[in-house]
Amino acid sequence: PTRNQPYENRSNLNDTNPLTAYLFRLMVIKRSNLCVSADVTTTNQLLELAEEVGDSIVLLKTHADIISDFAERTIRGLRDIAARKHFIVFEDRKFGDIGSTVQKQYVGGPLSIVRWAPIVNAHIFPGPAIITALKEAAEHALSGYNAAVSTEISADELEAHNYPHDSPIASASSSSSSDPHSANTGYPGAATSSSTASASTAAPARPTPNRVPSENVGESVSSAIERLGSPPLGRALLLLAQMSSEGNLLTGEYTQRCAQMARGHREFVMGFIAQESLNREPADNFITLTPGVSLVGKGDGLGQQYNGPDKVIKDAGSDVIIVGRGILIAEDRAEEAEKYRAAGWRAYEERVGL
Ligand code: S5P
- Cβ atoms of 323 and 294 closer than 8 Å: yes
Predicted confidence band at 303 (pLDDT cuts at 50, 70, 90)? Answer: very high
Q: Is the model's pLDDT at 46 over the cut of 80?
A: yes
Q: What is the pLDDT of residue 210?
A: 44
Q: Is the model's pLDDT at 223 over the cut of 80?
A: yes
Q: Is the model's pLDDT at 112 over the cut of 70?
A: yes
CB-ligand 1 contact for 74 (6 Å cutoff): no
Instruction: State the DSSP string of 275-316.
Output: SS----STT---EEEE--B-SS-SB-SSS-B-B-HIIIIIIS
- CA-to-CA separations, 346 to 123, 221, 268, 276, 306, in angstroms, rounded: 31, 18, 30, 18, 19
- Cβ atoms of 123 and 93 closer than 8 Å: no
- State which of 39, 278, 312 you would mutate to test the pocket of ligand 1, scoring each by most atoms of that ligand within 8 A of its C-beta: 39
Q: ipTM more than 0.95?
A: yes
Residue 134 CA to ligand 1 centre (angstroms): 22
CB-ligand 1 contact for 324 (6 Å cutoff): yes
Predicted confidence band at 354 (pLDDT cuts at 50, 70, 90)? Answer: confident
The residue from 55, 80, 92, 319 that is catalytic is 92
Could you report the per-residue pLDDT of 48-70, keeping only the tens digit for each?
999 999 999 999 999 999 999 99
Active site residue 97: yes
CB-ligand 1 contact for 322 (6 Å cutoff): yes
- State which of 59, 238, 244 you would mutate to test the pocket of ligand 1, scoring each by most atoms of that ligand within 8 A of its C-beta: 244
339 is in an annotated binding site: no
61 is in an annotated binding site: yes
Q: What is the pLDDT of residue 220?
A: 82
Three-state DSSP class for 35? Answer: strand
Q: What is the pLDDT of residue 15?
A: 85
Could you report the per-residue pLDDT of 157-216, keeping only the tens digit for each?
334 333 333 333 333 333 333 333 333 332 232 333 333 333 333 334 344 444 444 444
Active site residue 92: yes
* CA 178/CA 176 separation, integer angstroms: 6
Q: What is the pLDDT of residue 1?
A: 64
CB-ligand 1 contact for 62 (6 Å cutoff): no
Least confident of 98-112, 120-134, 174-188, 335-349: 174-188
Q: Is the model's pLDDT at 294 over the cut of 90?
A: yes
CB-ligand 1 contact for 142 (6 Å cutoff): no
**CB 16: neighbour CB atoms within 10 A?**
21
* Global pTM value: 0.83
H, E, C per residue of the chain: CCCCCCHHHHHCCCCCCHHHHHHHHHHHHHCCCEEEEECCCCHHHHHHHHHHHHHHCCEEEECHHHCCCCCHHHHHHHHHHHHHHCCEEEEEEEECCCHHHHHHHHHCCCCCHHHHCCEEEECCCCCCHHHHHHHHHHHHHHHHHHHHHHCCCCHHHHHHHHCCCCCHHHHHHHHHHHCCCCCCCCCCCCCCCHHHHHHHHCCCCCCCCCCCCCCCCCCCHHHHHHHHCCCCCCCEEEEECCCCCCCCCCCHHHHHHHHHHHHCCCCCEEEEECCCCCCCCCCCCCEEEECCECCCCCECCCCCECECHHHHHHHCCCCEEEECHHHHCCCCHHHHHHHHHHHHHHHHHHHHCC
Could you report the per-residue pLDDT of 245-291, keeping only the tens digit for each?
999 999 999 999 999 999 999 999 999 999 999 999 999 999 999 99
The residue from 94, 135, 300, 311 that is catalytic is 94
Residue 276 CA to ligand 1 centre (angstroms): 15
* CA 123/CA 128 separation, integer angstroms: 10
Active site residue 332: no
16 beta partners: none
| Mean pLDDT calculated for residue range 130-135 | 98
Q: What is the pLDDT of residue 205?
A: 38
Predicted confidence band at 2 (pLDDT cuts at 50, 70, 90)? Answer: confident
Mean pLDDT, the chain, as a whole number?
Answer: 84
| Mean pLDDT calculated for residue range 140-154 | 57
| Mean pLDDT calculated for residue range 313-340 | 98
CB-ligand 1 contact for 59 (6 Å cutoff): no
| Mean pLDDT calculated for residue range 8-20 | 93
244 is in an annotated binding site: yes
Q: What is the pLDDT of residue 145?
A: 62
